Every structure is written in structure tokens, then in C-alpha cells.
Amino acid sequence: MSGGAKRAARPGARAPQTTSKRMAKTTSPRRQALEDRVVRAVLWVAARLPYRWRVPVLGWLTSRVAAPLLGWNKRVRENLAYVLPDLPEAEIVRIVRAVPDNAGRSLAELYSGAEFLERVGPTPLRGPGVETLEAGLRARTPMVLVTGHFGNYDAFRAVMKHRGEPLGALYRPMRNAALNDRYVQAMAQLSSVHAADRKGIVAIMRHLKNGEPVAVVSDIYAEGGLPVTFFGKTAPTAGSIAEWAVKFDAPMIPIFSIRQDDGLSFDIVVEEPIPHGTVEEMMQTYNDRVEAQARAHPGQWFWIHRRWKPHRQRARAAATTGP
């Protein structure tokens, strides 16, 4: 499931504008060139290491070096304080270290290509939704497969690639074009990927019409999104994945790739499909499913995201209601 598959359109929204606005906010060419050189250097060094060392080393570097410099530690703490204010300090410290470690490991895995596929591809699927998933694959009926920024959501894509199953996914383009090109090349080794713009949405619709599953990650803040909750706080969420499921009469199946204690393998859980209902009901259930996994494994959810943006929500509400 592509990392950029995370910004689907909400009902009635014009999703393609999301990508164009994001791409418009580019940094200077000099800064982009520097970022590209740094990332290429890190990936080059990592590639020299055996896979079993590459993944934890990049996780450690991300957690202990990059995260403090990028302000990730502060953001994780702010998010935890907002939704889990009674969390003990020792647990906060553990999560602050675990979140970027998992992110760094996931990056190393994605850019390991064939080695990642060889190691993770044969992973068995388990859970109450496996039967629905397997039946849909056999019958070639459309399915909307959803997850969150949790564990390594690319692990399931590796399984599908290993099995030779078609899969379409959305991604949100990076602001740095050079980094984005390399990112897309890495993702494309696991499935068909499409930018979250008008053309990409059309491609996703084509996958569904052809009876091919699509994979989407939607646990990010969506401006003007549905007022559903996440960890008990309003977290505006896009609703397109629910719309697609209803439109194509497709099961909406949550799938989570839980990183195991060895830091390299995964327990891939296929949950019961989310029942069809109103878009808001379905997206609330989606948020609840992601939240349950994040509560069970808090170090594996991407607390670095600005998921709630309470200040923006208040400003938006004030502008809507007026004086």
C-alpha cells in the first residue's frame, strides 16, 4: 500500500487540487539538490550492508540522528499530549524512539527492492477477512484494501507482488522532484502506482472496473474532510475510499502489517470488511480500526503526521460561523 495513497478525495471534493497545491510549494533548487545528494548518499551506504543489518541501521540513524534534527521528536510528543495526556513519561520516550526507527526501517525495506520482496513476499496472511480477500481475488471482483501509516504498509504489497496478483495504489508526490522520481521507481517494483491527481484517480477507477483491488492509506488530515474522530478527537478524514467501495459494491477491507520483535518480519492481519453504510459511518469505522492497531502497537503508527491540526480546525470553524 503506497505511502502516497494516503490522500484520497472526500465526498464532493476536488482531490486533484491536493497534489497541484502540494507540488507548488517547492523548496529552492539548491535545497532540493542538497536533499537529493544526502538521500542518495545514505541509500548508497545502506545498500553496502547486508539486508539484516541495513534495515536496523537505517532505523537507528533515523531515530537517533534524523528525527531530532527534523523536529520529529517534538511533534510526536505534541500529538501524544493532545490525545493521550496521561501517558507515562517512560512510554512517551519509548514511542518517540520507536516511531522514527520504524519509519527508517520501512524506508530501507522499500529501497531494498528484490531483497525486501524475497524476504517478506512469502509472508502468510491471517485474520477473519482472509476468506473475503481470497474469494475476491479468485473471482476478480473489485476490492478496496485500506490501511494506515502503520508498521510497514508496503509489506502487503510485497505479498501481492510475490503472488503475482494485480494491485493499484495511489501515492502523494513529494515536493522534491528528484526524490520523488526515485521514490516512485521503488514503489513501482511492488505494484502499479498512481499519483493522487485527476489522472491517478481515473487509473484507480480503471483498476476497480477491471475487478482489480486497490490499496489506499487515508489516515491523514483532510482539509474540509468528514468530522470523524481518531483517539477521541475530531480528525477530518477524506471519504473517497468509502465512496468507491459503495459505488463498485466492493468490500472495504482493512489490512495491517505489524512489525515483529525481530524488526524484520511481519504479521499481516486481514480484518473483517467494514460494513457498507453512510460514508461518514464507514470512515469512522476505518479510523477506529487504525486506532485499535495504533493503541496495541503505539510505536508503529506514524505519530509524526499532523493528524488533527486543532488550531486549523478552530480557525476553519470560526471562519464558517462568522462573528
CATH number of the domain residue 150 falls in: 3.40.1130
Percent of the chain with pLDDT over 90: 74
| 97 within some domain | no
Sheet with strand 144-147: strands edge to edge: 125-126, 266-270, 252-259, 144-147, 214-217, 168-171, 192-195
- Cα 99 to the center of its chain, rounded Å: 14
* Local confidence band at 4 (pLDDT 50, 70, 90 cut-offs): very low
Quickly state the pLDDT bin for 9 (edges 50, 70, 90): very low
Q: Which residue has the higher pLDDT, 304 or 37?
A: 304
pLDDT value at position 20? Answer: 37
Closest CA to 160 of 191, 195, 192: 191
In a domain, 167, yes or no: yes
- 38 domain-assigned: no
* Average pLDDT taken over every residue of the chain: 89
pLDDT at 233: 98
Contact 22, 6 (CB under 8 A): no
Q: For residues 144 and 151, what is the distance between their CA atoms, to the nearest angstrom?
A: 19
What average pLDDT score do residues 18-36 get?
A: 59
Domain annotation covers residue 48: no
Per the domain annotation, does 113 fall within a domain? no
**For the whole model, what pTM was predicted?**
0.88
pLDDT of 143 strictly over 70: yes
Separation between Cα atoms, residue 310 and residue 141, nearest integer Å: 39
pLDDT > 90? residue 196: no
Q: Is residue 219 part of a domain?
A: yes
Please indicate, yes or no, if residue 112 is contained in any of the structural domains.
Answer: no
Q: Is residue 46 part of a domain?
A: no
Query: What is the dihedral angle through the alpha carbons of 70, 74, 76, 79, rounded to the nearest 10 degrees?
Result: -130
- pLDDT class of 315 with cuts at 50, 70, 90: confident
Q: Is the pLDDT of residue 128 over 50?
A: yes
Residue 59 has pLDDT above 50, yes or no: yes
> Which letter does DSSP use for residue 64 in this model?
I
Query: How does pLDDT run across 233-286, given as a tens digit for each residue?
Result: 999 999 999 999 999 999 999 999 999 999 999 999 999 999 999 999 999 999
Structural domain including 217 reads 3-29+122-321
Number of domains present in the structure of the chain? 1
